């Protein structure tokens, strides 16, 4: 019986990170990786971005399990959010599962979740019509695995992050024989890593990188601040080895890094002498040429943490004159501007900068020839380039066509595309809606495009607040408009602009008060529109305009003091005082008294309406 197969990317295509791919085989949904990505500059205030799994939520009963390739955030970072909704089994290598548990344990909803299963390259799991197995790959973290879904129509292979390195040590080595055997058995479709596809230059071996790190430590006379991704276990091991060889001590920064190091130590994936590590308090007792500071930042992202160190914003350790900041991670092209700004900050703080990527190609992903070698080993009928922006997916496609793979057998997908295999042919079917889910603090998915747009406008053009008090019954403005602005213009230097703005507000409000069909929403919108046109004409800026309209009813009933007639317009202070004394003498002890109003001009607003909607 032929299998009914659908492949749906929920992330990881036409972007960096956030890998999550669903393979639907005969109604069972197999999830490959569950990662996040760090926000780019336009996502103001956003901590991380995870996939939108609305479709999976509607089909949650059909989810079989989650299969993880490795322990980096782009593969496991969204797992705590996913498992909060979908209590399904999770499979991965020992190291991957250990790191996944660190993230899951931080979620209160998942304190009792323990459906983790450790697998290796020899594991096979039979789900009836699908057999899932694994194969070893080389990456910057130990025990990285590729995933093999064996169906009646052939095998569907997901490489995960990989590269080929003949000098890789045990725990990082690729199983070439296994790849050849998979290819001989017949591969229907390959979901292949494209993150380094446009690079024609061979990756430097990890042995050469380790030698370069040790040489840098040896010749640097001051402190070395190493910027590294927290889950890059291979690079951390190389830093520890180089520090030991050059007589330096290592200071770890951040709880995230300490947790990962402790976890890797317990599993035997990191090896070093106990006296190699020192605390921040012990640094003062060491000479600068004896110190290595390993900075990984919050959630394993080191660049922003280095910026804080350069700006003297860290509590314990900051960059000082004579420091060398050694960037051992390879940021994505989207981070080029941020990295350039970071370098400038470091030099301003008196430090120097060196990056591994300046001297050698240190990527943990396969370059063009590696991708072609993988294709020749697996011989897939269809190729689905994944993990990278569009130009990288296209570069992978071009490399495949050089090997003779037909263009119509290569699919560059977007999020939500549904690739369907039926009647011996693979093609695009009806897609589904897939967006991004943004995490801001404890909020999951409560930040949408409108909020982000307003944040951007606030950052670019500031905010303009207009406060007006009205009496709707008398159809008049009680208090003149009061204007406040932040991040828009300097008020004292723009008095004419503010005065004219007040006139525009007054006119717009009065026009609405004179209208028999008064409407609060129309009033606020009218103020925004008139003010927006004027401010743009004068400044060519579009600030967020926030009208605050308060209503005062001047005809509410007053408590009349005794001894005062109905026709009295206002009591004198003396009469009012006597009235109070008389009332106090005659009232019961347990009955609260009401103070008479001394001045009609002071009233409590019965209704105040505000708005935070932009025009």
Annotate 361-381 with DSSP letters as a single string: ---SS--HHHHHHHHHHH-EE
Convert the pLDDT of each residue in 340-365 to its tens digit. 889 999 999 999 999 998 888 888 89
Lowest model confidence (mean pLDDT) among 39-48, 92-101, 591-600: 591-600
Longest CA–CA span in the chain (Å) reads: 108
- Per DSSP, 598 falls in state S
Convert the pLDDT of each residue in 161-209 to its tens digit. 999 999 999 999 999 999 999 999 999 999 999 999 999 999 999 999 9
Using CA atoms of 339, 345, 350, 351 in order, give the dihedral in degrees to the nearest 10: -20
pLDDT of residue 444: 53
Beta-sheet pairing, 187-193 with 154-158: parallel
511's tokens: 């026009």
Please state, rounded to an integer, the average pLDDT across all residues of the chain.
83
pLDDT of residue 57: 93
Convert the pLDDT of each residue in 362-378 to its tens digit. 888 999 999 999 999 99
392's tokens: 């990288």
Residue 425: CB atoms within 10 A of its CB come to 9
Under the banding of pLDDT at 50, 70 and 90, the label for residue 153 is: very high
Listed residue (4, 82, 22) closest to 413, CA to CA: 22
- Per DSSP, 134 falls in state E
Conformation bin of residue 504: beta by default, left when phi > 0, alpha when psi is -120 to 50: alpha
* Element spanning 471, H or E: strand 463-471
**Residue linked to tokens 């079989």:** 64
Beta-sheet pairing, 224-227 with 145-151: unpaired
CB neighbour list of residue 523: distance below 8 Å, 6 or more residues apart: 508, 509, 512, 547, 549
- Whole-angstrom distance, CA of residue 147 vs CA of residue 137: 10
Residue 170: CB atoms within 10 A of its CB come to 6
pTM: 0.74
């Amino acid at each position: 019986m032929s299998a009914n197969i659908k492949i749906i990317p929920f992330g990881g295509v036409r972007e960096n990170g956030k890998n999550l791919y669903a393979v639907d085989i005969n109604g069972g949904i197999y999830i490959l990786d569950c990662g996040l990505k760090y926000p780019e500059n336009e996502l103001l205030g956003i901590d991380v971005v995870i996939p939108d799994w609305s479709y999976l939520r509607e089909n949650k009963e059909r989810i079989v399990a989650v299969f993880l390739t490795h322990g980096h955030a782009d593969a496991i970072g969204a797992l705590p959010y996913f498992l909060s909704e979908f209590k399904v089994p999770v499979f991965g290598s020992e190291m991957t599962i250990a790191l996944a548990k660190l993230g899951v344990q931080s979620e209160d909803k998942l304190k009792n979740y323990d459906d983790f299963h450790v697998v290796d390259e020899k594991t096979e799991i039979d789900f009836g019509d699908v057999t899932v197995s694994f194969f070893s790959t080389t990456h910057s973290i130990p025990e990285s695995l590729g995933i093999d879904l064996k169906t009646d129509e052939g095998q569907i292979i997901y490489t995960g992050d990989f590269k080929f390195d003949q000098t890789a040590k045990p725990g990082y080595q690729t199983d070439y024989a296994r790849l050849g055997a998979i290819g001989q058995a017949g591969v229907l479709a390959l979901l292949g890593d494209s993150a380094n596809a446009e690079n024609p230059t061979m990756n430097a071996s990890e042995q050469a990188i380790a030698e370069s790190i040790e040489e840098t430590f040896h010749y640097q006379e001051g402190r070395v601040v190493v910027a590294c991704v927290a889950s890059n276990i291979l690079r951390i091991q190389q830093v520890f080895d180089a520090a030991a060889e050059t007589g330096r001590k290592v200071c770890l920064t951040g709880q995230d890094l300490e947790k990962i190091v402790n976890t890797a130590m317990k599993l035997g994936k990191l090896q070093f002498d106990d006296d190699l590590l020192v605390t921040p308090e012990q640094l003062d007792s060491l000479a600068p040429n004896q110190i290595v500071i390993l900075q990984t930042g919050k959630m394993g992202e080191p660049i922003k943490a280095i910026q804080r160190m350069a700006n003297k914003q860290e509590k314990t350790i900051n960059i000082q004159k004579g420091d060398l900041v050694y960037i051992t991670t390879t940021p994505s092209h989207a981070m080029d501007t941020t990295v350039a700004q970071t370098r400038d900050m470091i030099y301003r703080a008196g430090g120097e900068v060196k990056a591994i990527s300046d001297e050698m190609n240190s990527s943990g992903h396969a370059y063009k020839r590696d991708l072609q070698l993988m294709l020749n080993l697996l011989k897939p009928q269809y190729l689905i380039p994944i993990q990278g922006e569009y130009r990288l997916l296209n570069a992978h496609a071009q490399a495949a066509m050089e090997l003779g793979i037909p263009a119509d057998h290569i699919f560059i997908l977007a999020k939500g595309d549904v690739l369907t295999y039926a009647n011996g042919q693979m093609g695009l079917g009806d897609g589904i809606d897939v967006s991004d889910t943004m995490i801001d603090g404890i909020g999951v998915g409560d930040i949408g495009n409108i909020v982000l747009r307003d944040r951007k406008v606030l950052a670019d053009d500031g905010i303009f607040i207009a406060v007006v008090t009205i009496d709707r019954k008398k159809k008049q403005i009680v208090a003149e408009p009061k204007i406040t602005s932040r991040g828009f213009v300097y008020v004292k230097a723009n008095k004419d602009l503010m005065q004219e703005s007040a006139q525009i507000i007054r006119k717009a409000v009065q026009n609405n008060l004179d209208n028999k069909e008064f409407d609060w929403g129309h009033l606020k919108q009218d103020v925004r529109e008139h003010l927006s046109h004027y401010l743009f004409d004068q400044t060519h800026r579009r600030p967020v305009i926030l009208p605050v309209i308060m209503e005062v009813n001047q005809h509410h009933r007053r408590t009349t003091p005794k001894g005062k007639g109905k026709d009295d317009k206002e009591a004198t202070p003396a009469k009012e005082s006597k009235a109070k004394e008389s009332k106090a003498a005659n009232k019961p002890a347990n009955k609260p008294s009401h103070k008479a109003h001394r001045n009609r001009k002071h009233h409590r607003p019965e209704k105040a309406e505000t708005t935070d909607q932009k025009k």
